[in-house]
């Protein structure tokens, strides 16, 4: 399971292809994270948490975007 | 070499150079500048000059982690305009960029948009006319321009680092076209970079390092080392990556050395003064930085030096006449583990 921001979509796909793991589950959250206030980061984390658990339990969900 | 030994896809482009360039550009294989079409004959000549087998793998280039074979390297070298005799340097440079210590993956992907800077030492600079004198960081020397460019094309065409998609550079900078210099060892009062790193003076080496911007460190007023180095330190305030690069022009180097400063002294003096004062930054910046480096136990009274240690500052003498030095900022992060990227020096096999 890998968590990325949507700006790194294409890179994530490239990496999955390079490693022969096209179905590797990727959770996508909104970019950016680095220049966002901590409470906004926490909100996004909370919004993504439920989906994170679902994907860990059911990896076949594949790539899912949250909060775009 | 038999053309059957070459394994790359053949692409028909016809004889018209303009049309060939349009085709390569449409396929995303160029850096925006015209290329030399990599015909079988040209590629074979560069492979022969490398004295390696065409399918030797020099390293894996991220983010695709694709093998940089001598053939693929030669294709990009032809495109960049390299002469065959540059191949030993190019091969050593690819060894350096694919060394895990450089962490090319992070350089390729980051919003920081760094270039890979190449610094060449040893006799090969003179053999191949690799400039380290006047305008060393500028244009005009085929070896500098094309070898640096070749590395960038390899990052793109073999590694799959495409600006806007897999390469997330927010701005990038012109160094990404090509950034390759020789150290001006003949004008330097100190031991050259490769000797500092344990190589013999008569060996030739190439050092690859992350570089994301260049800041002028001119000083036409100081006649003493402390003035020149204090001016330099002012330019270097604020953390660099795990390393930082001082490109000192010969005039400045002579003044500094004549005042009794060794390279080690230069690094120590600048490191003590090139500081990022936590008392001067806004609250949010302070708290974010303290969170990022809990190992430093930052307080408002803390000072973050430009690098974790003085030894992490590279001092390279280059340039011609004039009192114009430069500070090159290294992209990357200092981390408790030793840094997210480290420069790598490789011997050039001639």
CA angle B300, B303, B306 (to 5 degrees): 145
Domain-located, residue A6? no
Tell me what ipTM this predicted complex has.
0.81
Res. A68: pLDDT tops 60: no
Cα separation, B28 vs B38, whole angstroms: 15
Determine whether the interchain pair B160/A14 forms a contact, defined as Cβ–Cβ distance below 8 Å. yes
Question: From the candidates B160, B161, B169, which should be mutated to test the interface with A, based on the most A CB atoms within 10 A?
Answer: B160
Residue B216 has what pLDDT? 96
- Of B146, B116, B119, residue with least CA distance to B132: B119
Summarised one tens digit per residue, pLDDT across range A14-43 is 999 999 999 899 999 998 888 888 889 899
Domain count along chain A:
1
The whole-angstrom distance between B68's CA and the closest CA on chain A is 14
Residue B3: Cβ-neighbour burial (10 angstroms; 0-12, 13-18, 19+)? exposed
In terms of CA atoms, which chain B residue is nearest residue A38?
A: B288
Write out the residues of chain B at the interface with chain A, using a CB-CB cutoff of 8 A.
63-66, 109, 111, 160, 165-166, 168
Question: From the candidates A11, A36, A38, which should be mutated to test the interface with B, based on the most B CB atoms within 10 A?
Answer: A11
- Of B147, B151, B148, B169, residue with least CA distance to B159: B151
Q: Does A57 contact B at CB distance below 8 Å?
A: no
Domain-located, residue A14? no
In terms of CA atoms, which chain A residue is nearest residue B106?
A: A11
Is the CB of residue B111 less than 8 Å from the CB of residue B212? Answer: no
User: How many helices, marked H, and strands, marked E, lie in chain A?
Assistant: 2, 3
pTM of the model: 0.94
Q: Max Cα separation, chain A?
A: 37
Domain-located, residue A1? no
Of B63, B111, B168, the CB nearest to A15: B63
**Which region holds residue B77: left if phi is over 0, alpha if psi is between -120 and 50, else beta?**
alpha
HSE value, Cβ hemisphere, 13 Å, CA-based, for B215: 18
Residue B269 CB partners (closer than 8 Å, separation 6+):
B225, B226, B229, B233, B261
Residue B4 has what pLDDT? 66
The whole-angstrom distance between A48's CA and the closest CA on chain B is 22
Residue B275 has what pLDDT? 85
Residue that wins the pLDDT comparison between A67 and B318 = B318
Task: Write the secondary structure of B203-237 as one string of H (helix), E (strand) and C (coil).
Answer: CCEEEEEEECEEEEEECCCCCCHHHHHHHHHHHCC
Domain-located, residue A12? no
Is the CB of residue B112 less than 8 Å from the CB of residue B212? Answer: yes
Cα separation, A33 vs A41, whole angstroms: 7
Burial B32-60 (b: 16+ CB within 10 A, else e): eeebbbbeeebbbbbbebbebebeeebbb
In terms of CA atoms, which chain A residue is nearest residue B63?
A: A15
Residues of chain B contacting residue A15, judged by C-beta atoms under 8 Å apart = 63
Q: Which domain holds residue A45?
A: 23-68
In terms of CA atoms, which chain B residue is nearest residue A17?
A: B64
Q: Where are the domains of chain B?
A: 14-210, 213-330
Q: Does A41 contact B at CB distance below 8 Å?
A: no
Residue A67 has what pLDDT? 64
Domain-located, residue A46? yes
Neighbours of B5 (CB within 10 A): 13
User: How many helices, marked H, and strands, marked E, lie in chain B?
Assistant: 12, 12
Q: State mean pLDDT over A33-59.
A: 88
Per-residue pLDDT tens listing for chain B (350 residues)? 666 689 999 998 878 999 999 999 999 999 999 999 999 999 999 999 999 999 999 999 999 999 999 999 999 999 999 999 999 999 999 999 999 999 999 999 999 999 999 999 999 999 999 999 999 999 999 999 999 999 999 999 999 999 999 999 999 999 999 999 999 999 999 999 999 999 999 999 999 999 999 999 999 999 999 999 999 999 998 877 899 999 999 999 999 999 999 999 999 999 999 988 899 999 988 988 888 788 889 999 998 889 989 999 999 999 999 999 999 999 998 777 778 899 999 999 99
User: What is the DSSP secondary-structure string of B43-95?
Assistant: HHHHHHHHTS-TT-EEEEETTTTEEEEHHHHHHHHHHHT--GGGHHHHHHHHH
Domain-located, residue A3? no
Determine whether the interchain pair B166/A18 forms a contact, defined as Cβ–Cβ distance below 8 Å. no
Is the CB of residue B154 less than 8 Å from the CB of residue B73? Answer: yes
Residue A61 has what pLDDT? 72
Domain-located, residue A2? no
Domain-located, residue A16? no
Residue B79 has what pLDDT? 98
């Amino acid at each position: 399971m890998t968590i990325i921001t949507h700006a790194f979509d294409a890179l994530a796909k490239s990496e999955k292809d390079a490693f022969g793991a096209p179905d590797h589950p990727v959770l996508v959250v909104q970019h950016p994270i680095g220049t966002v206030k901590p409470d906004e980061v926490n909100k996004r984390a909370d919004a993504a948490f439920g989906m994170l658990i679902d994907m860990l339990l059911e990896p076949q969900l594949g790539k899912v975007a949250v909060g775009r | 070499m038999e053309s059957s030994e070459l394994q790359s896809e053949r692409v028909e482009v016809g004889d018209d150079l303009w049309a060939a360039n349009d085709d390569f550009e449409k396929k995303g294989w160029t850096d925006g500048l015209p290329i030399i079409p990599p015909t079988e004959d040209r590629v074979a000549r560069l492979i022969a000059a490398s004295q390696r087998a065409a399918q030797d793998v020099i390293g894996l280039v991220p983010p695709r982690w694709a093998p940089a074979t001598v053939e693929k390297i030669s294709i990009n070298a032809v495109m960049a305009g390299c002469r065959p005799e540059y191949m030993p340097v190019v091969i050593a440079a690819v060894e350096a960029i694919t060394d895990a210590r450089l962490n090319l993956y992070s350089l390729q992907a980051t919003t920081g948009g760094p270039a890979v800077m190449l610094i060449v030492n040893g006799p090969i600079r003179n053999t191949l006319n690799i400039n380290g004198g006047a305008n060393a960081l500028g244009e005009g020397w085929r070896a500098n321009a094309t070898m640096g460019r070749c590395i960038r094309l390899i990052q793109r065409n073999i590694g799959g680092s495409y600006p806007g998609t897999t390469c997330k550079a927010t701005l990038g900078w012109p160094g990404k076209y090509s950034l390759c210099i020789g150290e001006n060892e003949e004008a330097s009062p100190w031991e050259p970079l490769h000797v500092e790193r344990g190589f013999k003076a008569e060996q030739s080496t190439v050092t690859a390092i992350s570089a994301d911007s260049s800041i002028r460190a001119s000083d036409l007023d100081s006649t003493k080392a402390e003035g020149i180095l204090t001016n330099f330190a002012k330019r270097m305030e604020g953390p660099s990556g795990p390393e930082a690069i001082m490109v000192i022009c010969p005039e400045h180097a002579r003044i500094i050395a004549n005042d009794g400063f060794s390279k080690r002294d230069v690094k120590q003096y600048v490191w003590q003064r090139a500081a990022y004062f936590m008392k001067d930054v806004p609250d949010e910046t302070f708290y974010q930085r303290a969170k990022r480096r809990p190992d430093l136990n930052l307080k408002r009274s803390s000072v973050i030096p430009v690098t974790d240690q003085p030894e992490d500052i590279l001092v390279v003498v280059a340039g011609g006449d004039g009192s114009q030095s430069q500070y090159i900022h290294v992209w990357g992060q200092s981390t408790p583990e030793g840094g997210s990227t480290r420069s790598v020096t490789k011997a050039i096999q001639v």
